[in-house]
Each structure stands twice: as C-alpha cells, then as structure tokens.
C-alpha cells in the first residue's frame, strides 16, 4: 500500500488533489482511497488530505502518519507546520517552491526531494495560483504511482462541470510540471 499526505491551505484545492490521485489510480486499475482532514473550514488555514493506493481493498480509515509520498503545496507551511512528521529516509517529497533544493528547510534526504515551481506554472497557464493540479504532474513523474494519462482522465471527470477551457488549462499545467 502506498500512502500519500498532502499539505496545503484552505482554498488551494488540497482535498481535490487527493481526490484526483485516487481517481487516477482507480483509472489505472488500482484500488484507492482519498479523504481530507479538515481543521477549520476557512481559507488559508493549514489543511491535510490523504490518499492511499493498493492492489486490494483498503479498509483502514486512520490518517496517514507515515507517508510514502509527501506533497507540499504551500512552502510557507514549512515554518508553521511540522510537515515532515512521520516521514523517513524513503519518503518522497514533492514541494511547490521557487527555491533551490538546498535552500528548502526540511530535514529529509535531498535525493528524495523534488522541487517544482508550480505557482509559476499555474500563474502562467491557469492564470491563478491554484497549484493543486499542477503539482500532480511532478507527483506522477517523480513517483510513477499514477500515469499521466489517468491523471488527465481524472481531471476531465472531476472538472466536467467547469467547462472545456478550465480542463485544458489544468491538463496543460500538469503536462508542464510532468516535464520538469
């Protein structure tokens, strides 16, 4: 079983990101689960969401305490939340930041850290600082736990009510971050 924990802030689509991972994994033929841990339901408040991917039914409902993959959507959380809690030397970290790898204040092996300036990509392609979809391209590339194709399928399904233009923008953003 692969366990994924996503850190971000209310309004950044943290929960949607976890759902997209689960939907993509399901499209890949796996069994998956995604759920949020709401603090207060308020814009800007630190929020966590979780996803699990397995080959057999997933029964447990506990939060993810020892993630295999850690996704950090908002680098300012490094100062206020112990995002690395429960991570070990095998945890892969996908982080949205403009900084260089050596400048990132996180106490985990640099070889496992994948930094991507998702904000820059999102502003350029989507036009808003919504990095939740963008960062998933880097997630797919770095971990291989979901395919790019299934991720795009998940976006199309999840955003089907939002219109063609939004779907295309999000898919382009994902492709861009997948390249990095």
Partner 1 sequence: MKINITAKPGTTIKNKTGGWRTFIPSTDYNKCTSCGTCAKVCPEGCIAMENIKAHKKEKPVTDYDFCKGCAVCAVECPIKAIIMNLDEK
Partner 2 sequence: MKKNKFKSQPSQILEGSHAIALAIKNIRPAVVSAYPITPQTHIVEDLAKFKADGEADFKYVRAESEFTAASIVAGASATGARVYSATSSQGLLLMTEVIFNIAGMRLPVVITCANRGVSAPITIWNDQQDAITIRDTGWIMLFAENHQEAVDQHIMAYKLAENLKLPVMVNIDGFTLTHTYEPVFIPDRKQIKKYLPDYQPAKGQYLDAANPVTLGSFAQPSYYMEIRQDLHNDLMSALDLVNKEYEKYHKQIRHPEQSEGSRGSKTQPDSSPSARLGVRMTIENNGLLEYYGHKHPKIILIAMGSVVGTIKDAVDEINDKIGFPNAVGVLKIKCFRPFPSAAVLQILKNCKYAGVIDKSISLGSIGPLALDVKTAAQGNIKTIIRSFIVGLGGRDVTKNIIKKIIKKIKSVGDGANFIGN
Per partner kind, with CB cut-offs from 5 to 8 A, the member of partner 2, partner 1, none near residue 90 is none
Q: Which of 4, 5, 9, 26 binds partner 2 (CB under 8 A)?
A: 26
Q: Tell me the C-alpha distance between 133 and 135, whole Å.
A: 6
Q: How far is the CB of 35 from partner 1 (least distance, A)?
A: 24
Nearest CA among 127, 130, 129, 118 for reference residue 175: 118
Per partner kind, with CB cut-offs from 5 to 8 A, the member of partner 1, partner 2, none near residue 60 is partner 2
CB neighbourhood size of 73 (10 A): 26
44 binding partner 1? (CB under 8 A)? yes
SS3 content of the chain, % helix, strand, coil (to 5): 40, 20, 40
Give the torsion through C-alpha atoms of 76, 78, 80, 81, to 10 deg.
Answer: 130
- Interface with partner 1 by CB under 8 A: which range of 13-21, 69-77, 152-160, 170-178? 69-77
**Residues near partner 1 (CB under 8 A):** 9, 43-44, 74-77, 79-80, 97-99, 119-120, 123, 129
């Amino acid at each position: 079983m692969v366990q994924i924990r996503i850190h971000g802030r209310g309004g950044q689509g943290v929960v949607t990101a976890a759902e997209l991972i689960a939907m993509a994994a399901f499209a890949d033929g796996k069994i998956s689960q995604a759920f949020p841990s709401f603090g207060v339901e308020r814009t800007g408040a630190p929020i966590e969401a979780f996803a699990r991917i397995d080959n057999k039914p997933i029964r447990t409902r506990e939060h993810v305490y020892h993630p295999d993959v850690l996704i950090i959507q908002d680098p300012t959380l490094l100062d206020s939340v112990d995002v690395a809690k429960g991570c070990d030397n095998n945890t892969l970290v996908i982080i949205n930041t403009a900084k260089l790898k050596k400048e990132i204040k996180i106490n985990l092996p640099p070889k496992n850290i994948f930094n991507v300036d998702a904000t820059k990509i999102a502003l350029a392609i989507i036009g808003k600082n919504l990095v939740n979809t963008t960062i998933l391209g880097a997630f797919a590339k770095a971990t291989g736990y979901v395919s790019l194709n299934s991720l795009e399928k998940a976006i199309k399904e999840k955003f089907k009510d939002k219109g063609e233009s939004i779907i295309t923008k999000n898919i382009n953003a994902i492709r861009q971050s997948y390249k990095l």
